[in-house]
Amino acid sequence: MSSADEYDRSMNIQSHAPGYWPLEAMEKWNDHKWQLRNRINSLEELESKINLTREERSGILLSGNKLAMSITPHYMNLVDKDDPNCPIRRQIIPRIEETWEDPAELSDPCGEDSHMPVPGLVHRYPDRVLFLVTDRCASYCRYCTRSRVVSGVGEQQLETQYEAAFEYLENTPSVRDVLLSGGDPLLFTDAKLDRILTRLRQIPHIQFVRIGSRIPIFLPQRITPELCAMLKKHHPLFISIHTNHPKELTTEVQQGLIRLAEAGIPLGNQSVLLKGVNDDVITQRALVHKLLMCRVKPYYLYQCDLIEGSSHLRTSVSKGLEIIEGLRGHTSGYAIPQYVIDGPGGGGKIPLNPNYVVQHTDNQVVLRNYEGKEFIYPEPNSMPAFLE
Ligand X SMILES: *Cc1c(COP(=O)(O)O)cnc(C)c1O
Closer residue to ligand X, CB minimum distance, 60 or 130: 130
Closer residue to ligand X, CB minimum distance, 297 or 349: 349
State whether residue 298 is helix, strand or coil. strand
Among 28, 57, 66, 124, binds ligand X (CB under 6 A): 124
- Number of Cβ atoms within 10 Å of the Cβ of 352: 14
Q: How far is the CB of 360 from ligand X (least distance, A)?
A: 27
Q: How far is the CB of 342 from ligand X (least distance, A)?
A: 7
Q: Which of residues 175-194 bind ligand X (CB under 6 A)?
A: 179
Question: Does the annotation count 141 as an active-site position?
Answer: yes
Closer residue to ligand X, CB minimum distance, 59 or 120: 120
Question: Does the annotation count 86 as an active-site position?
Answer: no
Phi-psi region of 120 (alpha: psi -120 to 50; beta: other; left: phi over 0): left
Question: Does the annotation count 228 as an active-site position?
Answer: no
Q: Is 49 an interacting residue with respect to ligand X (CB under 6 A)?
A: no
Site stretch for ligand X (CB under 6 A), options 44-52, 68-76, 119-127, 195-203? 119-127
Question: Does the annotation count 125 as an active-site position?
Answer: yes
Q: Which of residues 299-358 bind ligand X (CB under 6 A)?
A: 349
Question: Does the annotation count 305 as an active-site position?
Answer: yes
Alpha-carbon distance of 309 to 29, in angstroms, equals 34
> Contact at 8 Å (CB) between 210 and 185?
no
Angle between helix axes 281-293 and 317-327 (nearest 10 degrees) is: 50
Q: Counting Cβ atoms within 10 Å, is residue 3 exposed (0-12), middle (13-18) or buried (19+)?
A: exposed
Among 40, 130, 149, 200, binds ligand X (CB under 6 A): 130
Closer residue to ligand X, CB minimum distance, 264 or 348: 348
Alpha-carbon distance of 237 to 251, in angstroms, equals 24
86, 110, 137, 304: the active-site residue: 137
Closer residue to ligand X, CB minimum distance, 63 or 145: 145
How many contiguous H segments (helices) and E segments (strands) does the chain have? 14, 12
DSSP string, 253-286: HHHHHHHHHHTT--EEEEEEE-TTTT-SHHHHHH
28, 124, 201, 295: the active-site residue: 124
Site stretch for ligand X (CB under 6 A), options 123-131, 134-142, 301-309, 364-372? 123-131
| All residues at 6 or more sequence positions from 204 whose CB lies less than 8 Å from its CB, including other chains | none
Closer residue to ligand X, CB minimum distance, 78 or 179: 179
The tally of CA atoms less than 13 A away on the side-chain side of residue 355 is: 7
Residues labelled catalytic: 124-125, 128, 137, 141, 144, 146, 305, 342, 349
Residue ranges binding ligand X (CB under 6 A): 122, 124-125, 128, 130, 179, 349
